[in-house]
Amino acid sequence: MDSRITARTLAHALGGWRTREPAYEALADGIRLLCLDNRLAPRTALPAERELAGALGVSRTTVAAAYRSLRESAHIQSVRGSGSVTLPLGGRAHGRGHVGADEIDLTQASPAAWPGLAGVMSDVAQDAAALVARAGYDIIGSAELRAAIADRYKARGIPTSPDEILVTTGAQSAIHLLSEALVRRGDRAAIETPTYPHAAEALRAAGARLVSIPVHVDDGWDLDRAAQALSRTRPALAYLMPQFHNPTGRTMTPTERASITRAAMVAGTTLVIDETTAELAIEPQPVDPPTWESASVIRVGSLGKTVWGGLRIGWIRAGRDRVRELAALRPPRELGTPEFEQAVATRLLPRMPEILAQRSLLLRAGRDALVDALRERLPEWRVPAAAGGVCVWLELDAPLSSGLVIAARTHGVHLSAGPRFSPEGGHERQLRIPFTAPPDQLRRAVDVIAEVWPVVRAAAPTMATAPVGAVV
């Protein structure tokens, strides 16, 4: 058994779990969703029935029935005298670890590989003899790739030298490394809400206590809350995604950037800027000078969203001393980034204008198909049309995001509920849907969602349709 979750923590994670009747099955579905989203890791010990009943304000009979339902669906295992533990995905009847051929996976917000990638890989393979002649352990990154990344920054008006670049195994590896380097256990770390879930997980794993900065589809970043969070808690770092924010799609205005920069400088907070979606514009964007450079800023980038999620190449742009520090911390986690992928990335970067043009067309087709279908089939929902990025952040007409995700899954459509993107819970009225899948799949997915939504609403108790302020 690897970990244990308290009744209070589980109750908080479940949020507005009571999305339908009977209550025991709604509770079971809430725990299933936490397992499917990996918010409850395999081999996590669940609270005793009496403890969870007290935390949720329900009868012990309700919790016992929910645990029985979870055992029947192979989500948990109970041993007399030892309690109940969650099971690995492969052992579950529902929410298996793979998606069938007839199912639609909208939990991943990454487009299919750029069509020219296979050809570039083939060309690099012709030079395999030269690659395998190298040591193969590359902690900092190849000189050629770091120079190519630095050139991309210089083209954006951000002077950068190769020794200010550290190549990583994807952006997630970069975020984990920065979390370990910048955060001591118990430190505060500011993060947007909603946000990229794996960034919150990396910060928590490093021992950070998270402080939220709200981001809204209409109003952008809550600057008052941001200033308060930074001045009162003085976080060690603030993780932000300022361009085509995942999941809201918002891009910071110059005023928003300047305000957060000033607050970070006063608080002594390092800004970690995630730019993995920054170049995925669908609509033309105004030229914006790199105002971040006046503060302590570290940038994270990757080719995962622009080229292919399977090309595990990311990077950190920071000062020379910081790069050396990060390189020294890296060996306990990994001994470098694979040479072959670095060689592929080196050849791709000069072709980024061509790649980004193709990505813009692909994302536009997906966005338009998704937005049009949602507005036609679910006119009561609020459906923004993002100017770029990879997804839309929908507002439902009832706080039943988790219940909808469970219902859609039984019809072969895999979604991520709003609370998945909230560090402190909430967002049951929101749903993220990526537009990276083919348009026909997106339209079919919307048909399923429109079919199950009335059923989810009808099954919800009256208390689940409280005003937004009570649940978000």
pLDDT above 90: residue 199: yes
Question: What pLDDT is attached to residue 470?
Answer: 30
Q: For residues 372 and 130, which has the higher predicted lDDT (pLDDT)?
A: 372
Q: Which residues pair with 417 in a beta bridge?
A: 431
Tell me the pTM.
0.87
For tokens 């984990």, the residue is: 176
Cβ–Cβ under 8 Å, residues 283 and 311: no
Supply 206's token pair: 């490093």
Question: Which token pair is 193?
Answer: 């809400």
Burial label for 108, CB within 10 Å (0-12, 13-18, 19+), is: middle
Write down the domain spans for the chain.
3-91, 104-114+354-471, 117-350
Over range 153-157, report the average pLDDT. 91
- CATH number for the region 117-350 comes to 3.40.640.10
- pLDDT at residue 469 in the model: 33
pLDDT of residue 459: 83
Percent of the chain past pLDDT 90, that is, above it, reads: 73
More confident residue, 99 or 67: 67
Q: Given pLDDT bands bounded at 50, 70 and 90, which one contains residue 88?
A: confident
| Residue 395 three-state SS | strand
296 contact partners, CB below 8 Å, separation of at least 6: 264, 265, 268, 269, 270, 271
Question: CATH for 104-114+354-471?
Answer: 3.90.1150.10
Once rounded to an integer, what is the mean pLDDT over residues 369-389?
Answer: 97
SS3 of residue 168 by DSSP: strand
CA 316/CA 178 separation, integer angstroms? 9
Cis check: omega of the bond before 254, within 30 degrees of 0: no
Over residues 160-169, mean pLDDT: 97
Euclidean distance between CA atoms 68 and 281, whole angstroms: 48
Non-local (6+) Cβ contacts of 19 within 8 A are 26, 29, 30, 400, 402, 403, 456, 459, 460, 464
Q: What is the pLDDT of residue 93?
A: 40
What tens digit of pLDDT does each residue of 264-278 get? Answer: 999 999 999 999 999
At 92 the pLDDT is 41
Tell how far CA 364 is from the center of its chain: 21
Sign of CA dihedral 236, 165, 193, 56: negative
> Average pLDDT over the chain, rounded to whole?
90
Reduced to 3 states (helix: H, G, I; strand: E, B; else coil), residue 251 is coil
Query: Would you say the CATH fold of 104-114+354-471 matches that of 3-91?
Result: no
pLDDT band for position 94 (cuts 50, 70, 90): very low
pLDDT band at 136 (very low <50, low <70, confident <90, very high): confident
The model's confidence at residue 160, banded by pLDDT at 50, 70 and 90, is very high
Calculate the alpha carbon distances from 166 to 25, 332, 468 in Å: 48, 16, 43
* CATH 1.10.10.10 is the classification of domain 3-91: yes
User: Residues 311-333: pLDDT tens digits?
Assistant: 999 999 999 999 999 999 998 88
- When computed from its CA atoms, the radius of gyration of the chain, rounded to whole angstroms, is 23
How buried is residue 200: exposed, middle or buried, by Cβ count under 10 Å (0-12/13-18/19+)?
buried
CA separation (Å) from 451 to 34, 245, 380, 428, 447? 24, 29, 14, 19, 6
Q: Which of 275, 289, 286 is nearest to 389 (CA)?
A: 275
